[in-house]
Amino acid sequence: MSEVKQERKPEEFTNRDYQAGFITDIDTDTLPPGLNEDVIRHISAKKDEPEWLLNWRLEAFRHWQTMTEPHWPNVTYTPTDYQSISYYSAPKSQADGPKSLDEVDPKLLETYAKLGIPLREQEFLAGVAVDAVFDSVSVATTFKGKLKDVGVIFCPISEAVRDYPELVQQYLGTVVPTGDNFFAALNSAVFTDGSFVFIPKGVRCPMELSTYFRINALNTGQFERTLIIAEEGSYVSYLEGCTAPQRDENQLHAAVVELVALDDAQIKYSTVQNWYPGDENGLGGIYNFVTKRADCRGARSKVSWTQVETGSAITWKYPSCVLRGDDSVGEFYSVALTKMRQQADTGTKMIHIGKNTRSTIVSKGIAAGFGNQSYRGLVRIAKSAEGARNYTQCDSLLIGDKCGAHTFPYVEVKNPSATMEHEATTSKIGEDQLFYCQSRGISEEDAVNMIVNGFCKDVFNELPMEFAVEANRLMEVSLEGAVG
């Protein structure tokens, strides 16, 4: 007798070819593998850096050598051999540093075009300025001139070191000190490129700024450094995107992002992370070990982190806010998707120091296949933080029964006037929800996507419009099954 069986189980809807997995064939100037003081001197010399920065790097390196790699996150992986990776790789054609757009190697333009990031003048995304970082160097930054007209500086950090050394020296490492943690120390020693943003007093940045990170070369690590400074009363919305080729080897991405918000300044920082996740057996993929922190230095300043983490074999990051200024506000909106053998240990830290500081944490974790993920969050209310408030909501959605989701909320309250709210849910993608959609004429596959996107909606709503669509699509890419 005929019985209609679902032919595909939800966990099978989780593998799909990684669309950004191609390799750009380009001549590179790559340092041989290995890490020592000479390598650091070499990187610094390549970038024509001032003495103080070289010394800063060397100090970080010496500190790093005394540190051991932490193992507390809820992830397992083959440790990185730090002597077997190369710490600098750049396309030869870009050897003399960032060029004007007309001079950018067509192969690079083509690479970014394939990724949906047009860098040619006539094809620019309307209202979005892009800094394109390829392996260790920035290859192009669009709309630089237009931004300059209103006093906004948006350029590769290596260029900022050259053109605005006092600004860089004033702020670099003040949010994430060189010795903050193992990976931050490593990054400080060997960082190559990344973006620098400066929004002067009272300026509302007229367009979205974005950096697109691409790892291409084999056996290299990417160590980018981003520094964003928003002066009094300014506003900026910044987005980063990331992809890498499909390779069997793991590659390390250890970035540091520092944000500084002065009085009444607002920074909205969004991430759409789609590094290569490895294959269904867990072979290859990026180790995404990142330190991101915002210093809400000024009164009434506000920083919002929004992240959509769909890629990487291992993700380990906690974009945090130090709420120093009175009445400052920190927000963290996160969607993390782990499928196949992906693992993520991610969350945030909200450190309340100023009076009446407020923080909001909304974390949505989706685990599918053999994916494993943990939300780890710390809310600390210092003694000085009179009237602080935190709201935390973390929801997990499981697809299939071989995946896992965990939450590790930590709370430290030193001031009794604090108001804390915490909500947490874990749900399985319901057979009844799927059937409901199907009975309305929606295929099972579309239904899974619809339910997942619905689950993420509160976070997607926080993304700039241009990228909300992209995020929706990414979730789709990740969950669609090959239709048989």
- Binders of other proteins among residues 372 to 431 (CB under 8 A) are 430-431
For other proteins, which is the closer residue by CB, 182 or 391? 391
What is the smallest separation between the CB atom of 434 and other proteins, expressed in angstroms?
9
CB-nearer residue toward other proteins: 137 or 397: 397
Residues 428-457 that bind other proteins (CB under 8 A): 430-433, 435-444, 446, 450-451, 453-457
Selection from 124, 165, 123 nearest residue 147 by Cα: 124
Taking the C-alpha atoms of residue 132 and residue 112, their distance in angstroms, rounded to an integer, is 8
- The first and second tokens of residue 308, run together, are 């959509």
Residue 406 Cβ vs other proteins, minimum distance, rounded to whole Å: 21
Q: Among residues 5, 17, 32, 81, which is the contact residue for other proteins, using CB under 8 A?
A: 5
Residue 427 CB, shortest distance to other proteins, in Å, is 9
Check residue 3 for interaction with other proteins (CB under 8 A): yes
Q: Could you give the CA distance from residue 253 to residue 271 in angstroms, rounded to a whole number?
A: 15
| Min CB(342)–other proteins separation in Å | 23
Map the footprint of other proteins across residues 170-229, applying CB under 8 A. Answer: none
Instruction: Pick between residue 40 and residue 474 the one whose CB is nearest to other proteins.
Output: 474
Nearer to other proteins, 71 or 440 (CB): 440
Q: 3 or 102, CB closer to other proteins?
A: 3
Cα 394 from chain centroid (whole Å): 19
Which spans in 16-50 are helix H?
A: 37-46
Contact status, residue 362 vs residue 368, Cβ threshold 8 Å:
no
Neighbours of 446 (CB within 10 A): 14
CA pair distance 189, 39, nearest whole angstrom: 10
The yes or no reply on residue 100 touching other proteins (CB under 8 A) is: no
Q: Which residues, numbered 133-172, are part of the site for other proteins (CB under 8 A)?
A: none
What Å distances lie between residue 423 and 307, 346, 406, CA to CA?
20, 17, 14
Instruction: Provide, rounded to whole angstroms, the least separation between the CB of residue 405 and other proteins.
Output: 17
- Structure-block tokens of residue 296: 């809400």
In the bound state with other proteins, the residue whose beta carbon lies nearer, of 34 and 430, is 430
- 175 or 456, CB closer to other proteins? 456
Tally the C-alpha atoms within 13 A of residue 267's C-alpha that lie toward its C-beta: 33
Is 458 a binding residue for other proteins by CB under 8 A? The answer is yes
Q: How many residues bind other proteins (CB under 8 A)?
A: 29
CB burial class (10 A; 0-12, 13-18, 19+) of residue 142? buried
| Long-range contact pairs involving 165-169 (C-beta distance under 8 Å, separation at least 24) | 165/50, 167/198, 167/229, 168/53, 168/196, 168/227, 169/52, 169/53
Residue 456 beta carbon to other proteins: minimum distance, rounded to whole angstroms = 7
To the nearest whole angstrom, how small is the minimum distance from the Cβ of residue 126 to other proteins? 22
- What DSSP string runs through 73-121? SS---PPP-TTSSBS-EEEGGGTTS---GGGS-HHHHHHHHHTT---SG
Token duo for residue 146? 């237009």
Q: Least distance (Å) from other proteins to the CB of residue 437? A: 7
CB of 309 to other proteins, least distance (A): 18
Q: Which is nearer to other proteins, 166 or 432 (CB)?
A: 432
Residues lying near other proteins in the complex (CB under 8 A) are found at 1-6, 430-433, 435-444, 446, 450-451, 453-458
